[in-house]
Amino acid sequence: MATDGETAAPGGEPAPEAPLIELDGVEKVFDVRRRTGFLRGERRQVRAVDSISFTVRRGEMVGYIGPNGAGKSTTIKMLTGILTPSGGRLRVAGLDPSRERTRVARRIGVVFGQRTTLWWDLPLIDSYRLMHRMYRVPDARFRENLDRCVELLELGELLEVPVRQLSLGQRMRGDIAAALLHDPEVLYLDEPTIGLDVVSKVRVREFLRDLNAERGTTVLLTTHDLTDIEQLCRRVMVIDHGRLMYDGALSGLHAVGESERTLVVDLERELPPIEAESARVVKVEGPRQWLAFPAGTSAAPLVARIAADYPLVDLSVREPDIEAVISRMYAGKAVS
């Protein structure tokens, strides 16, 4: 099996430290033609990805975020072998995806959040049987993987249902299972929770966390939902205008972006603005007050202080908007 490839190398040096994904100065330049007249046009070069370097170790779970058009999808497309980089060096499991597309394809799983790869008019199980044969998964292995996915993604009742009758959340779970039946070493997810209801989101996240913990499957996901990153990824990479703006822990991202979380406090009665050194009141509306505090710090001490000094009825914490964090980061960089 592909997954045993590294350790089974006879006499070869085990290379646990070798990164699964390596990018070194990877670029992608598109020629964009714009029409200026009937037959005249001008060519312009767009750097969708501009000299990006990073490595991902086996078993990591990384969030890859950025605004629309930042270069996220282009990076994923290069990692999966769909697009050929214009420059730089890129390796997945030691292979060059653009030159060895089919070999890389056997080792990776891909889920495009907005495009299903399931067969619309056929029962879900038929799509899985096709994967079984197309990827030449050994029978026992296929059964085992399928049973596991069916159990954890709660697909049992859905296997005989034509895909067109599934809800969006059910279809997404079906798509994730389809991407995992051939034991991929790395799973790429492009917006896996987009358009899903809260319950489905929670289920998908739980499954991915288990997959990563139990199987050690490396996961790289792009998302607009900051909660996905918070609940799944210790590491986050931010890309904007084709450049890697940040690579590190999520808390660090908030520090860099100087973003703030908001604590919404309901008091027993109308009171003057709360005084706390680690936070400032940004709004008061009757007994309700809004306090902003740095997103990199914990809310617990602040909550404890307020609970001790004020008649607290209820509270909630609001996360900063990722787009806002990134735009602030970008603005900060442009100034410096």
Partner 1 sequence: MKAGGTAVRETAVRVVDVHPFERQGAYERLRDGLRAYRLITAMWIRSTMAYRASFAMTAFGNFAATALDFAAILLMFSRVDRLGGYSLPEVALLYGVSGVAFGFADLALGSMDRLGRRVRDGTLDTLLVRPVPVLAQVAADRFALRRLGRITQGLLVVGYALAVLDIHWTPLKVLLMPVMLLSGAGIFSAVFVAGAAFQFVAQDASEVQNSFTYGGNTLLQYPPTVFAKDMLRGVTFVLPLAFVNWLPALYVLGRPYPLDLPEWVAFAPPVVAALCCALAGIAWRAGLRAYRSTGS
Which among 62, 86, 286, 8 is positioned nearest to 189, based on CA atoms?
62
Q: Which of residues 138-197 bind partner 1 (CB under 8 A)?
A: 162
What is 303-333 written as a DSSP string? Answer: HHHHHHHS-EEEEEEEPPPHHHHHHHHHHHH
**Interface with partner 1, residue 83, by CB under 8 A:** yes
**Interface with partner 1, residue 6, by CB under 8 A:** yes
Mark the segment that binds partner 1 (CB under 8 A) among 1-9, 139-147, 196-204, 289-297. Answer: 1-9
**Interface with partner 1, residue 2, by CB under 8 A:** yes
**Interface with partner 1, residue 246, by CB under 8 A:** yes
| Cα distance between residue 85 and residue 87, in whole Å | 5
Question: What residues are paired with 134 via a beta bridge?
Answer: none
- The end-to-end CA distance of the chain, in Å, is 50
Phi and psi for 279 in degrees, rounded to 5? -145, 160
Which listed residue (75, 80, 200, 222) binds partner 1 by CB under 8 A?
80
- Chain position carrying tokens 């034991």: 183
233: tokens are 């990824």
Mark the segment that binds partner 1 (CB under 8 A) among 10-18, 212-220, 226-234, 294-302. Answer: 10-18
Please identify, using beta-carbon distances, which residue of 263 and 329 lies nearer to partner 1. 329
**Interface with partner 1, residue 89, by CB under 8 A:** yes
Which among 39, 26, 94 is positioned nearest to 237, based on CA atoms?
26
Which residues have a Cβ under 8 Å from the Cβ of 305 and sit 6 or more positions away? 276
Q: Total number of residues binding partner 1 (CB under 8 A)? A: 59
Q: How many CA atoms lie within 13 A of 19 on its CB side?
A: 13
Which listed residue (115, 140, 199, 285) binds partner 1 by CB under 8 A?
115
Which listed residue (27, 47, 58, 98) binds partner 1 by CB under 8 A?
98
Please identify, using beta-carbon distances, which residue of 111 and 155 lies nearer to partner 1. 111
Which residues have a Cβ under 8 Å from the Cβ of 99 and sit 6 or more positions away? none
Write each residue from 202 to 221 as x if it is in contact with partner 1 (CB under 8 A), else as -, in one continuous string.
Answer: --------------------
Containing 254, the helix (H) or strand (E) segment is: helix 250-257
Please identify, using beta-carbon distances, which residue of 90 and 295 lies nearer to partner 1. 90
Which listed residue (172, 245, 250, 291) binds partner 1 by CB under 8 A?
245
State the DSSP code for 287: T
Q: Are 104 and 81 in contact (CB under 8 A)?
A: yes
Rounded least distance, CB 248 to partner 1, Å? 6
The residue ranges that bind partner 1 (CB under 8 A) are 1-2, 4-6, 8-10, 12, 15, 18, 22-24, 30-31, 52-55, 74, 77, 80-84, 86, 89, 91, 94-95, 98, 101-103, 105-106, 108, 110, 112, 115, 117, 119-122, 126, 130, 133-136, 162, 244-248
